[in-house]
Structure 1
Amino acid sequence: MSKEFSFPNKGTCSKQTNFVLNDDHTIASIEVIGGCNGNLKGICQLLTGMKAEDAIARLDGTLCGFRSTSCPDQIAKNLKKALEEMN
């Protein structure tokens, strides 16, 4: 079984993160709307099949320039929200 999630991104060029998590917390699919298209497509390809917890550990706290967040950091935050909803 899997569940779809969609969360707005805050403080980044990208606007939204959409993803599907399997019951075992594996990322079945992920898409980021807006932002640096090629980079985010590449990140999404790397994350597909990865455990959400592992993705969070790698991406959490990543900054973009002088911002207090980044697109990868927003992905991590949104994955955390999804895991909280699943539990």
Structure 2
Amino acid sequence: MHVFTPRGVCSRAIRVELDGDAVSNVEFEGGCSGNLKAIAKVSRGMTVDQIAELWEGNTCGNRKTSCVDQLVCALREAQCTQAG
């Protein structure tokens, strides 16, 4: 499991697991619990590119990022770690 520390959002950590290029598990620590649990469920089985297409660049309020935007960062970081 890869642990990512998001920046500029309410969640304190994002834990992701990849099976190749597909997401097998996502867990958020902190943030809007109900919404983030739903995002985690929807993400399972999707590829990193599919998730990026949906949520990369999404903002929250007046912030320049959001938890789902940070999820894309976490997944890309996990891909690099997995490849290395």
With normalisation by structure 2, the TM-score equals 0.93
Matches of 1:53 and 1:84, distance apart in 2? 14
Is the 1:14–1:34 contact (alpha carbons within 8 Å) kept by the matching residues of 2?
A: yes
Matched, 1:70 2:66: yes
Structure 1 segments of 4+ aligned residues over 3 angstroms from their partners: none
Give CA deviations for 1:28-70 in whole Å, capped at 9, x if unaligned.
1111110000000001100011111111111100000100110
TM-score, normalised via structure 1 length: 0.90
Pairs within 5 Å for 1:49-68 = 49-68=45-64
Q: Which residues of structure 1 form unaligned runs of 5+?
A: none
3-state SS in 2 of match to 1:68: coil
Aligned-partner Cα distance in 1 for 2:9–2:39: 15
Pairing 1:35-50 to 2, within 5 Å after superposition: 35-50=31-46
Identical columns (%)? 33
Number of residue pairs aligned between Structure 1 and Structure 2:
83
